[in-house]
Amino acid sequence: MGVGTELAPLEIPVTRTLIVSGAIASRDYQDVHHDAELAREKGSPDIFMNILTTNGLVGRYVTDHFGPAAVLRKVAIRLGAPNYPGDTMVLTGTVAEVQEGAASGSGHGSESEGGGATVVVRIVGANGLGKHVTGTVTVTLPSTPNPTSTPSRPSVSGRPA
C-alpha cells in the first residue's frame, strides 16, 4: 500500500431508518433528522443525515479497509450536499500519505500504541446531489506481529487465559 492507492468504494443506501437511528444513537434529537413535516417547514425537502452518522460511516469505511486492529487517530470531515432518504452515498478513498513505523503523534494515549505505519486517507462521499462529505482520516496500522510470539487470547471471562 502506498500513496495513491485507492480503497474499494462502499455504497451505502440512505434510508429513513439509517438517518433516524443514526440521529438517535448520537443523541441528536433535532427534528430535521426524524420529522419530515417539520424538516419541510424549515426549508428542507425531507429529513437528512446528521454529521455524527456521517462521521461514523467514514470511520467504518476506513477500518473496514484496514482491519479491526487499525486505530483511528483523526477524522476531519466537512459536509456538503445533504443525504436524503432514497439516495445512495458512495464512499471512496485514496491514500494521501504513509509514514512507516510512525508513532501516533496525536498526543492521545501511549505513543507505542499501534507501532505500525500511519496512513492518511482522503475521503469523498458522493450522492445524487454531489459531494456529501469530504475530508481526511488518519489511521495507525498495527506493526507486523512477531511470527514466533503467541498472542494471549482472552478467556470467556474476558481475562487472559
Q: What are the pLDDT digits (tens) for 135-150?
A: 999 999 998 654 443 4
Maximal C-alpha separation, the chain: 64
Instruction: Categorize the per-residue pLDDT at 101 as very low, low, confident or very high, splitting at 50, 70 and 90.
Output: confident
Taking alpha carbons only, the member of 88, 59, 54 closest to residue 72 is: 59
Cβ burial of 49 (10 Å; 0-12, 13-18, 19+) is: buried
154 has pLDDT over 60: no
Q: What is the pTM of this model?
A: 0.80
Give percent of the chain above pLDDT 90: 76
Residue 56, H or E segment = helix 51-66
Q: Which three cell numbers stand for residue 91?
A: 464512499
Give the full edge-to-edge strand order of the sheet including 71-79.
6-13, 88-99, 115-127, 130-142, 71-79
